[in-house]
Every structure is written in structure tokens, then in C-alpha cells.
Amino acid sequence: MKISIGKAAKVLGVSKETLRRWEKLGRIKVFRTRQNHRRYDISSIQDYSIRKTPVDTTKTTIGYARVSSQDQKKDLISQAELLESYLAKNGWTYEIIQDLGSGLNYNKKGLKELISLICSKQIDRLVITHKDRLLRFGSELIFSLCEHFGIEVVIMNASKELTFEDELVQDVLEIITVFSARLYGSRSKKNKNLLDKLKDAASQI
């Protein structure tokens, strides 16, 4: 019996992206339908799930980029391009993970994929442009995971430390952004004006 990539991911307890990565590395057998959809033999999947995952000899570097909202998509592209240039310049084999969501949100697709890669020891290096690109509060948790699994962390702009006031402004703006998405959904002009005033006030701190 052959199953879809979604069901196979659940059986193995990994993400779809991880299965695709294993396919590229030749670590797991994949069948293709006439429509070119992936299918996995259930018996092989079950056998694989109880075996120790083989050591990955072709680990890669992950560049992680994130912005908080839709209107920052240009910044997301710029981050990704900056990471790609830096990683290529260093001659590393790399992939870029991009996230669109608040730094207060731990449930972002890209972040979950990154954590999965870290915990399954599939990468040897994590590169970010700034510390807060991971999470607004809690980046240290990801760094601790990396340390535990022997993964190097590179923060490109680590030397450019923000002042307390700058960090406070960014934190306030991040929190406002979270509530903006909810209040904008009500299409209330009053709510939008209120949030705009809050952002202006925060920028004056």
C-alpha cells in the first residue's frame, strides 16, 4: 500500500520538507504517480520509522529570513538576497527559509521547519541577519538547541547592538503589529487610525 507525502510525514513524525530533503539525499525510496505525485510504500515507511536515522554526510547551511507583516515583503526579499550573497561568498551549501509572521508567533511554518532540521541534525550551520529575525522574545531557545546539537550560529550583524530605547521601540511595534492584523480585519477606520497613532507614538520613544 502506497501513501501520500502528507501521511508519510505523519508516520515518520517529520515535515514534508524533510521527506523531500531525504529523497534528494537518497535516504528514502519514493514512487511517482502518472501525475508525478510522490507516493511512499507504507511497509518501508514503518520499517524506516523504527530504525535509527542514518548520519547525514551532506549537511547544509540554513539562512533564515523573517518579517512581521505583508507590507514588509520587500524587506523579506532583501534579507533573503543578503543571506544568499553571504552564504555563496563563503562557499557553503545552503538553503534559505523565509517566514512571514510576527516574532511573537512560535507557530510559523518556516520556524517549525528550522527546528525540525536542527533536532534531526540535518544542518551544520544557521545564519541570520539579526538576532530578532528568529523570535522577538525567545531566540535564546533556538540558540540553545543549536548548541546542544553542535550547530554553529552566525549572526551577520551581531556587532551592531541596539540601544535599550531602540529595542523597546521594536518590541512595542512588534506587539502593535500582532494586534493590527486582527483589528484591520474588522475594516474599522477607527481601529486603523488608532493603530497608526500608536505606531507614531512608539517611534517617538
Q: How many domains does the chain have?
A: 3
pLDDT of residue 175: 52
Could you tell me if 127 and 154 are in contact, meaning their C-beta atoms sit under 8 angstroms apart? yes
Q: Is 68 a catalytic residue?
A: yes
DSSP structure string for 119-161: HTT-EEEEEESSGGGT-SS-HHHHHHHHHHTT-EEEETTTTSP
In this structure, the answer to whether residues 140 and 79 fall within a common structural domain is yes
Closest CA to 200 of 162, 172, 181: 172
- Full residue range of the structural domain in which residue 181 is found: 164-203
pLDDT of residue 61: 93
pLDDT of residue 65: 93
pLDDT of residue 24: 78
Q: What is the dihedral of CA 164, 200, 76, 15, to 10 degrees?
A: 80
State the CB neighbour count (10 A cutoff) for residue 88. 10
Contacts (Cβ under 8 Å, ≥6 apart) of 50:
none
pLDDT of residue 98: 92
Q: What are the cell numbers at 197? A: 497613532
- Which secondary-structure segment (H or E) carries 66? strand 60-67
In this structure, the answer to whether residues 85 and 133 fall within a common structural domain is yes
In this structure, the answer to whether residues 150 and 171 fall within a common structural domain is no
pLDDT of residue 125: 93
Candidates 4, 15, 43, 68; catalytic one = 68
* Residue at 54 is within a domain: no
User: CA 19 to CA 25: how far, in whole Å?
Assistant: 10
User: CA 145 to CA 93: how far, in whole Å?
Assistant: 21
pLDDT of residue 188: 54
In this structure, the answer to whether residues 132 and 87 fall within a common structural domain is yes
* Residue at 76 is within a domain: yes
pLDDT of residue 7: 87
Q: What is the dihedral of CA 89, 19, 17, 117, to 10 degrees?
A: -60
Q: What are the cell numbers at 169? A: 521601540
In this structure, the answer to whether residues 66 and 31 fall within a common structural domain is no
Tell me, what CATH number does 141's domain have?
3.40.50.1390
* The domain boundary residue, chosen from 115, 133, 155: 155
pLDDT below 70 — which residues of the chain?
13-15, 46-58, 103-104, 136, 158-205
pLDDT of residue 186: 47
Q: What are the cell numbers at 117? A: 532540521
* Residue at 55 is within a domain: no
Closest CA to 2 of 35, 29, 40: 40
In this structure, the answer to whether residues 80 and 14 fall within a common structural domain is no
In this structure, the answer to whether residues 145 and 80 fall within a common structural domain is yes
Q: What are the cell numbers at 59? A: 549537511
* Residue at 176 is within a domain: yes
* Residue at 85 is within a domain: yes
